Chain A
Amino acid sequence: MTEKDTQSDRSGDESRMPPAALLYAADEILHMYDSVPFIICLLDSERRIISGNRQFREVTGWPESPVFLSDKACGILGCIHSLDDVRGCGFGAHCASCPLRRALLDTFETAARHSDIEYRTSLLLNGTRRDVVLLGSTARIETPGKQMVLLSLVDITERKLAEEALFERERLLNEIFEHGGVGVAHWDLDGRLLMLNQKACNNLGGGDPQQYLGSTMIEMFGNEAGMSYLERIKKTVESPEALEFEDRVELPIGIRWFHSVHTRVRDAEGRVTGVHIYANDITDLKQTEESLQQSKHMYDTLVSKITVGIYILRSTPEGSYTLDYVSPRMSELVNCSIESLLANPQNFFVNFHPDDRAGFVALNQEGISLLRPFDWKGRILVDGTVRWLHIESSPETQMDGDVLWHGVVADITESKQMEDALRVSENLLRDAQTVAGLGTYSLDIATGRWNSSDILDDIFGFDKKLDRSLSEWESILHPEDREMMTNYLSDEVLGKLMPFNREYRIIREVDGRTVWVHGMGRLEINEQDQPVRLIGTIQDITERKLVEGNLKKRDAEIEQFIYTVSHDLRSPLVTVKTFLGYLENDVNDGDRERISQDLQFIHGASDKMKELLDELLELSRIDRQENTPVRVSFRELLSEVCGALAGDIDQHRIDMTLPDNDLELFGDRARLCQIWQNLIENAIKYRGDDRIPSIELGFRHDTGGVTFYVKDNGIGIDPSYHTKIFGVFEKLNQKSAGVGLGLSMIQRIVEKYDGRIWVESVGQGQGSCFSFTLPRAISHDSTREQMPA
């Protein structure tokens, strides 16, 4: 035992040494403890170290280093009293307060034979100073006449650290348990609540957690819910994994939603003893989620209900693009599934009509590169039928440079079809209006503004424009109709709310032409019985009015004709009948002279009647019979007439003047001849006796066209008779030959060629000049005068 030897060698003070036997015994005992991991030493009653195990020797350097224990200081563990000495117990100058020293002294001096202390200090172990926690135990060993104290020191630093860590963890757990925001409840296998934290208590309705302890699930949640929760506990017990649930729970505080995690609780032996339920009140979340769900549902419903498809297309600055969103309706419209559209945006237009696809792609690219809103109408083929789509989208540039195109796709097939049908019917209407010369207008009563259709502009001779004022209408009214029409509009139509229905004249500003129109219109009346709009039509009825006018004239002529004829045919009848009566008397009287006179009158009247009837027949032929029109030279016509009248002309030595220039006429040759023939006959018949009769034939170009004339130097006609002479059976001289139908006939023929005839004569003995026009006999290409050869 080297330690014992060494110790013996170094113990210079024999009197303080313990008895050898004791020492030996102590040594023996302590040696036994060399291998234990704590420090043990033995002090004698003199408070001297008499023995120590290996750990003690290592820590203190005993027996080489002095170890002492006194009232003032304790050197047992090499306590340091100066900072220069690195060894020491760590109490330094405060050695007096060293708990180990106190404990040792107490053990020596008091009745207590044993004490345990735990204290912190610093130790140099294996050359390294470290903070340690030591557990010191002292035990006073009483032997007869002797007492010793056994000191053992155990380094409990590790244990202490572990304890502290455990404590901290427990504290944290507790913190979490109480304040973690999760309700924690511990249930036993029968569904009885053993423990719950504040949060769980709050979940259940608040108050003191204690009140819930010991309650069963059925007591707390009712039979039905309680049973189902019990069922869960059983499941949890069997499940190695935690189970999650979401519940709608009816509590006295109202309906709450909880998310809960169930875990089984096992004891040290692994037996399941209960279940932990961690519950989170997710009512708010649930409500938010529910309203979110609701609005999402509404949005989905909306998107699925609306007839247009919706998409979001993302284009990048690099030029690539993808579809971010496609609504179901959009997928339907472009006849391509949502998945394939999202996978490949090219599928967007895969079904487009081949004729329209390229245009769409080009427009799309242009839109993307110029960031211009996109608007396209085109066709798509869906199961072989053509549908029309209208696609619109507008760009929205994102922070990252991408552009989102919010697009809308609409099926416009029906509106397109209607549009087409409308266009067709509009065209029809326009054509019909054009053909009928029917213009339309719409007048806003309040403003007096109106608009006119193209055809109405044509009728009124207006420039094309949309907006007009009422004064524009008033200004073109014929002066004779203006007052009547403005009064009619204001008093009758607007005043009495009557439909507009009037025929009136306008004078076109553009060419000064007078046009007859028939205006019709319907008033639109509001709830207050106030006229709002006048919508109507204007028809050009000039032609009709002309015909009407001609018809009236014709009617008058016919009436006059019948009157004249009945009078003039009746006259000879009166003569015949009356003289027949006289004849009878005269025969009875045997008055031969009067008989012959009577018969003469009767013959004369009968001849007159025949003549009248023949002439009337001739006149009626003008209207009834017409030969095929032919082209004939004017001079040729005249020479034919003169040939027929050659006898009379020669007999009366008429000086005939024929025109130098020629003209081509187109018409019924015989009738045209009749004009000149009758006029020349008249000129011969009414020649003057006191001069050489002359007749001049010719034509001249007037503003109205070609005017023909037959001029004589005969007896002339008093200006007051210039109209009367053209009447049926009119004769200025009762004794002259004929029945008075010649000029009537000429007039009829002239009128058939849309011409007119008139006479110029200063009066008796001044000669006459009959002039007339024949517009329809003058062909357009013949108006150019042909010069004589």
Chain B
Amino acid sequence: MNGQALTILLVEDNPDHAVLVMRSLGDFKVANRILHVEDGQAALDYLSGNGPYADRMTYPLPNLILLDLRLPKIDGLEVLREIKANAGLKPIPVVVLTTSDAEQDLTKAYEFGANSFLTKPIDFLEFTSLMRDLGFYWLAWNKQPW
């Protein structure tokens, strides 16, 4: 762990789920900041620093991206494909966090370069422990090139 501020980009269209994720991750204080966007277009805009996200101080490149797959406008898989096709964004770990556990999504996600694929558990304890482990693993234990 270094002293650098850790940022998570949460791409989640369901506001309830966004609250849940942020609350769980916040409880374990693994990240300094969790930024939330509601659709795929917003996610790509954020990462490219387009439009409202031009200021990298306010909207820095995240250390981890939590990506839902079912998103309005541009869906999660397409967002994933574009991230991994972009050399600058490619190193950022993308954890797919989705409600569905459909086989096609799983296959496609890894094909497009997802670093991890997680299904939101329905059970509270499972959900919270997943969030804790997720945060610690990717932000504390996992070594990053930067």
Chain A positions near chain B (C-beta within 8 angstroms): 563-564, 566-568, 570-575, 577-582, 584, 601, 604-605, 718, 720-721, 724, 730-734
Contact = CB atoms under 8 A, between A and B. Distances in A.
B100 A566 contact: yes
Interface residues of B, number: 27
A563 B100 CA distance: 8
Contacts of B125: 581
A570 B128 contact: no
Nearest to A569: B99
17 contacts: A564-B70, A567-B100, A570-B100, A570-B120, A571-B17, A572-B16, A578-B20, A579-B16, A579-B20, A581-B125, A582-B124, A601-B16, A720-B73, A721-B73, A731-B72, A734-B38, A734-B72
Contact of A581 (B74, B99, B128): B128
A574 B13 contact: no
A574 B38 contact: no
Interface string B38-76: 110000000000000000000000000000001011100
B87 interface: no
Interface string B99-125: 110101000000000000000111111
A288 to B, nearest CB: 103
What are the 3 closest A-B residue pairs judged by CB atoms, nearest first? Answer: A581-B124, A575-B16, A567-B100
B32 interface: no
A732 B74 CA distance: 9
A725 to B, nearest CB: 10
B98 A567 contact: yes
Contacts of B123: 577, 581
A577 B122 contact: yes
A517 B94 CA distance: 49
B124 A580 contact: yes
Given A577-B122, A732-B73, A605 B16 contact: yes
Contacts of B127: 574, 577-578, 581
B23 A582 contact: yes
A416 B14 CA distance: 84
A604 to B, nearest CB: 7
B124 A568 contact: no
Interface in B20-34: 20, 23
Q: Is the interface of A mostly helix, strand, loop or mixed?
A: helix
B19 interface: yes
B100 A601 contact: no
Nearest to B103: A563
Given A577-B127, A578-B127, A578-B128, 13 more contacts: A563-B100, A563-B104, A564-B70, A566-B100, A571-B16, A574-B17, A574-B122, A575-B17, A578-B124, A579-B16, A605-B16, A718-B73, A734-B72
Contacts of A604: 16
Contacts of A724: 73
Nearest to B38: A734
Nearest to A740: B72
B72 A732 contact: yes
Contacts of A579: 16, 20
Contacts of B104: 563
Given A574-B20, A721-B73, A734 B15 contact: yes
A734 B72 CA distance: 7
A571 B99 contact: yes
Contacts of A581: 123-125, 127-128
B84 to A, nearest CB: 20
A733 B72 contact: yes
Nearest to B21: A578
A169 to B, nearest CB: 138
Given A578-B20, A581-B127, A573 B122 contact: yes
Residue with the greatest number of chain A CB neighbours at <10 A, chosen from B13, B15, B20, B38: B20
Contacts of A718: 73
Nearest to A730: B72
Given A575-B17, A734-B39, A568 B73 contact: no
A574 B19 contact: no
Contacts of A575: 14, 16-17, 20
B129 to A, nearest CB: 11
A582 B14 CA distance: 18
A727 to B, nearest CB: 10
Residue with the greatest number of chain B CB neighbours at <10 A, chosen from A564, A570, A731: A570
A556 to B, nearest CB: 11
A605 B19 CA distance: 13
Contacts of B100: 563, 566-567, 570
A290 to B, nearest CB: 100
A733 B17 CA distance: 16
Nearest to A584: B124
Nearest to A731: B72
Contacts of A584: 124
A568 B14 CA distance: 10
